[in-house]
Structure 1
Amino acid sequence: MSLTALGFTLVFVAVSLGISMWQKLGLERELLIGTVRSAIQLLAVGYVLQFVFQSNHWLVIGLILLVMTAVAAWNANTRAGGLRGMRWRIGLVILITEFATLGLLLLLDIIPFTTQYIIPISGMTIGNAMVAASLFLNQMKREIASGKEEIETLLSLGASSRQAIQDALKRAAKSSMIPTIDGMKTVGIVQLPGMMTGMIIAGASPLEAVRYQILITFAFASSAALTSIMLALLTYRLWFTRQDALA
């Protein structure tokens, strides 16, 4: 794609700005900030990845994965409602999910140990885990708010904090996995995912692109499940005080 063609893509931003101004949505500033930030961030990532792909050193790969995980944990933590100790737990869960997924891919020789494969697939895995964590925490806040009386009643009847909040944890975990499951049901029919589309545009065989997309789809399902369950196990105590009352 030429720079001229890339510049023409600003037409889409102009359309969004026009709609916002027409309907008085007040999104003009956010759209402009988002446009500038996304362009700068993607260009910067492009130069960084070009360097990383050339070096192909495991220390560089590890550093990139740690940065991705830290940013993902920071972003997901904004959904936690200010609960102390949540950020490092989210980071730990995402890190475990990433290394479990990546470890299986490398151990089973599904992908080679090269940055060309590890970084993009890890980015998608970490991003999916971040979304699952955000959805889980967002739903947990709703569950705690709407089920406060039920939880306090169970506590007064002698239930432990884990027993009192168990149903809320299950509903939040289920809710966080719904987008991934729905995506699995409609992939290839309703939507053609970005990885598959990108490979086809780059000239890869459609069948080769489909095989990699199946890999990513199944990995997403696993990472969402691992993230939700581990977050539930590691964070449920944070919703209570030391005296087992709701925080």
Structure 2
Amino acid sequence: MKNVVVSNWSLVFAFLLVLVSIGISVKEKLGLTKDILISVVRAIIQLVIIGYILKVIFNVNTFWLTFVSTLVIIFNASWNANGRDPNTNRKLWNSIIAEAVGTYITLAVLLLSGVIKPIPMQVIPITGMIAGNEMVAIGLCYKSLNESFHDLRQPVLERLALGSDIKTASMPIIRRSIKTAMQPTIDSAKTVGLVNLPGMMSGLIFAGVNPIYAIKYQIMVTFMLLSATSLGAIISVYLAYKNYFNDQMQLML
């Protein structure tokens, strides 16, 4: 890690990049200056706090503390994903189940295959990457569901009137939502290494790791995220579409 040296003064000068965003907001009268400043302050505070917490967790190195950390990550990701659901009848448990199943299945495969070791220094960051990408996918899924039910309300009502159950009536919307949720991860996988050097790969290279080893880890991350976002999307959509219907199979918008 001797290759990575970020002094406090370096961070101060890097803050000039934030001023670029603020300048654009002011010049174009976007009204985002307050949001930018709040987001920067929150990011600094959150990262400093989590840095000290992770230091303690890594030093203690116990299974239960690591497991609790993954639960906290999953809950926060679920909370944020649920908040992106425009449906007033949304249920937090839908997001929690989707996040937990997708994250733990992916983690289990990585641990059993020996790709990562069952230590907090590896499990916690990987959990954060998985849950974070799932959060985005689930949020997109919810948004697509809501928009599609409003746009395709009439076809859904017609299928219900012809005797279809709510699943059959909603199937085109379900498929569209899953596809929408998965598409960003698929697009990212198509351009990885050509358009951008992702976070894990860049971090390892910064730390002085052989680029070939860094690439192997990034390939693992690509596979991991494809799996996690797929699981998160399909589980969340099959749980959430039911929230648009009442017990009498009536569409509630």
**TM-score range for the pair, normalised by the shorter chain length:** over 0.9
User: What pairs with 1:159-170 in structure 2 (closer than 5 Å)?
Assistant: 159-170=164-175
Is 1:180 aligned to residue 194 of structure 2? no
Q: 2:32 matched to 1:27?
A: yes
Q: 1:69-84 to 2 correspondence within 5 Å? A: 69-84=74-89
Aligned-residue Cα RMSD (Å) equals: 1.0
- Note the C-alpha offset of 1:83: 4.0
- 2: CA distance between counterparts of 1:202 and 1:6? 18
State the shift of 1:127 in Å: 0.5
Residue deviations 1:68-119, cap 9 Å, x none? 1111111111122244452111111101111101111111111111111111
Aligned mate of 1:123, from 125, 128, 133 = 128
> 1: distance between equivalents of 2:241 and 2:149?
11
Query: Per-residue deviation at 1:178?
Result: 0.5
Kept in 1: contact 2:200–2:218 (CA 8 A): yes
Q: Which position in structure 1 is the counterpart of 2:3? A: none
Which runs of 5 or more residues in structure 1 are unaligned? none
Structure 2 match to 1:215: 220
Instruction: Output the CA distance in 2 between the equivalents of 1:244 and 1:93.
Output: 24
| SS of the residue 2:30 aligns to | coil
1:83/1:238 contact within 8 Å kept: no
Equivalent of residue 111 in structure 1, options 108, 113, 116: 116
Correspondence 1:92 to 2:97: yes
TM-score when scaled to structure 2?
0.95
Question: Which fold has the larger relative contact order, with Cα–Cα distance below 8 Å and residues 6 or more apart in sequence?
Answer: 2
Q: Percent sequence identity over matched residues?
A: 37
Q: What is the CA-CA distance between 1:231 and the residue it aligns to?
A: 1.4
Q: TM-score, normalised by structure 1?
A: 0.97
Structure 2: stretches of 5+ with no match in the other structure: 1-5
> Does the CA-based 8 Å contact 2:89-2:244 persist in structure 1?
no
